Chains A and B, each alone.
Chain A
Amino acid sequence: MTVPAGIIWLASFPKSGNTWFRIFLANLTAGESEPADINNLDERGGIASSRHEFEAATMLDSGLLSHDDIDCLRPRIYEAIATEAGKQRWIKVHDAYTATPGGEPLLGRKVARAAVYLVRDPRDVAVSLAYHNSTPIDQAIKHMNAADGAICRGSTGLAPQLRQKLMGWSGHVTSWLDQTDLPVHVIRYEDLVAAPASGFAGALKFAGRSAPQAEIERAIRHADFAELQRQESEKGFAERTSRNAPFFRSGRVGGWRNTLTAAQADAIEQCHAATMTRVGYVL
């Protein structure tokens, strides 16, 4: 079976299982008997907001461009990547589904084939995000509740990546689910944890890619949370930003129940009730 070429976005709000999914893919592609090195993954599709890729493709100094000017150019970068790759390429993306200031979809059908969208209970996301950013949980919640939220948006220094509009947790989820330009396959993090084999196989099938059941199961074992924790504790992980917690910290479903105060859980539920209900999270 020929795998259809083009970009597949691996899209999610931060801390929703995106890295786990990428490590699974890397292990599947590597086809080795030992787990892939988390700091040297073969299938390194990169992130859509990579400053380095932007500069290499445009020949421009991204630090001299406004965030909006950069957004106007981003679809052109993805066209170039898709053409050059000539095969299927999965690329991580944390941007909400938005239009550029020129009115063009930033991540639309013109540049990509489809998207796999990972969604996770926002109460667990809040705890994970607070550890990841080394901030109090209340600040993480504020970030998730801000409809105009974005990351790497600073104007007094050069952020490590290009600006990404998140639009708050609900804004993010609905932007991807409501757009009609790209086919989207939605996976809940909780379902993937409960039944990884069928979850990953479903996503691969959606992308027109298949793999033997045994290979999928091997890649799942090699990307198992305990394995990722083992590697991180031994060698560290390049994508860790937290000052006080590992990247692969807990990964648990429902861990928020022991961490969030009632007021904190309430603040999330109040803000995101409609979207939480829509994707099946019990209030």
Chain B
Amino acid sequence: MHSYLISGLHVWSELELPGAIPEAFQAAAADVSIRRSPVPMALEGATARGPTWEMAGEIFLLRVPRLARFRITAGRDIAVEIEPGVSDHDAAGFVLGSAFGILLHQRGALALHGAAVAKDGRAVAICGASGAGKSTLAAALCRGGCAFVTDDICVVDLDASGRPLVLPDGRQLKLWQESIDRLDLAQLRGEGVRESIQKYYIDPSGARAQPSPLSAIYVLREQRPPLKSGIESLALPDAIRTLDYEAYRPVLRAKIGRKREMLTHAAMVLSHAKMFLLVRPRGFEHLQETVATVQVHWDALDR
């Protein structure tokens, strides 16, 4: 068995999860268990379905053709059936990504599709669509002295007084080879996320062990008309709508029926953390410019 701390949860897993950071704890303290088990092709009594998934009450079935099937139950269990000839390593990327994201939704967590970094004990989240450049910007900010907090899925929890905290992720940063080359991070390159794909785990030096208060959420977009490069504050109604849209797989939230609860959660988060639209110029050659813009903006925010 393997044990990890992922998005603030204690996870027991029969599957080794490359890219997750091991953490020792007592079996009784596990919040989530991941095990190998036969998983059906379909669910009985499914109430919602998509091309690769079905949902029946607290059970969610995810099918990755020619690779594996996952049954995610009640925010506690992930059953994994891997297709013959497929390595555990190839299936593990989907456990840490989609399956865990679905599980977090089942638990009612506010899970954003984004990365987070911290400085002087305060975190900022960077949300955006796949390919927007979240992980690359996070890596560049870490190279500039920030600590790495999370990549891909960013869980925002509330502390006892209702202030938003970003939970330590326990997953490493994932970067495409192109970004690794541009950022000159070859010496930190770890295992591949999948054997056939040139995307790799990067050792997040300075990973935080403690939840960090969230100062700001930046929604990252590539500059395309009518957007102009720079940082712009979002008014509350826009911020709530955007936060909903920037959730990890937002369709899920509506299907799982926790939309209302999420909006309340989002409103509480936004009463403490400000939300900004961050439009970056297109092209790697402008990355340092974007890093500097964020650093200056962030410094002004915390003063």
In the complex the two chains form, is A51's CB within 8 Å of B131's CB? yes
The 8 A CB mask of A59-70 against B (1 = contact, 0 = none) is 111111110010
Q: How large is the interface on A (under 10, 10 to 19, 20 to 34, 35 or more residues)?
A: 35 or more
What are the 5 tightest A-B residue pairs by CB atom distance, in nearest-first order?
A236-B225, A76-B51, A157-B178, A238-B224, A156-B177
In the complex the two chains form, is B131's CB within 8 Å of A158's CB? yes
Residues of A within 8 A of B250 (CB): 56
In the complex the two chains form, is B179's CB within 8 Å of A157's CB? yes
A79 to B179 CA separation, bound complex (whole angstroms): 35
Residues of B within 8 A of A62 (CB): 130
In the complex the two chains form, is B225's CB within 8 Å of A156's CB? no
Which of the candidate stretches B58-66, B165-173, B202-210 sits at the interface with the other chain? B58-66
Q: Say if the beta carbon of B298 comes within 8 Å of chain A.
A: no
List 10 additional contacts besides A58-B51, A59-B50; criterion CB under 8 Å. Answer: A57-B251, A58-B53, A60-B94, A65-B64, A69-B66, A72-B65, A73-B65, A76-B52, A77-B51, A156-B177
Residue of B nearest to A68 (CB): B66
A149 to chain B, nearest CB (A): 21
In the complex the two chains form, is B226's CB within 8 Å of A55's CB? no
In the complex the two chains form, is B252's CB within 8 Å of A59's CB? yes
Residues of A within 8 A of B131 (CB): 51, 158-160
Residue of A nearest to B248 (CB): A59
Residues of A within 8 A of B51 (CB): 57-58, 73, 76-77, 79-80
Task: Return the contact of A64 from the options B53, B94, B179, B225 (Cβ within 8 A).
Answer: B94
A76 to chain B, nearest CB (A): 3
Number of interface residues, chain B, beta carbon within 8 A: 36
Residues of B within 8 A of A159 (CB): 131
Q: Say if the beta carbon of A39 comes within 8 Å of chain B.
A: yes
The 8 A CB mask of A228-247 against B (1 = contact, 0 = none) is 00000001111110000000
* B window 41-65: CB within 8 A of A: 50-53, 62, 64-65
Binding site for A on B (CB under 8 A): 50-53, 62, 64-67, 93-94, 97-98, 101-102, 129-131, 152, 176-179, 193-194, 196-199, 224-226, 249-252
Residues of B within 8 A of A240 (CB): 224-225
Residues of B within 8 A of A156 (CB): 176-178, 198
11 A-B contacts (beta carbon < 8 Å): A57-B251, A58-B51, A59-B98, A60-B62, A60-B94, A61-B130, A63-B199, A69-B67, A73-B52, A160-B131, A236-B226
A72 to B198 CA separation, bound complex (whole angstroms): 21
Q: Say if the beta carbon of A52 comes within 8 Å of chain B.
A: yes
Binding site for B on A (CB under 8 A): 39-40, 51-52, 55-66, 69, 72-73, 76-77, 79-80, 154-160, 235-240
Residues of B within 8 A of A73 (CB): 51-52, 65
In the complex the two chains form, is A59's CB within 8 Å of B130's CB? no
In the complex the two chains form, is A63's CB within 8 Å of B129's CB? no
Residues of A within 8 A of B50 (CB): 57-59, 80
Residue of B nearest to A51 (CB): B130
Given A76-B51, A157-B176, A160-B131, are A60 and B64 also a contact pair (CB < 8 Å)?
yes
A154 to B68 CA separation, bound complex (whole angstroms): 25
In the complex the two chains form, is B130's CB within 8 Å of A63's CB? yes
Residues of A within 8 A of B62 (CB): 59-60
Residues of B within 8 A of A52 (CB): 129-130
A154 to B101 CA separation, bound complex (whole angstroms): 27
Residues of B within 8 A of A238 (CB): 224-226
A197 to B97 CA separation, bound complex (whole angstroms): 50
Residues of B within 8 A of A158 (CB): 130-131, 176
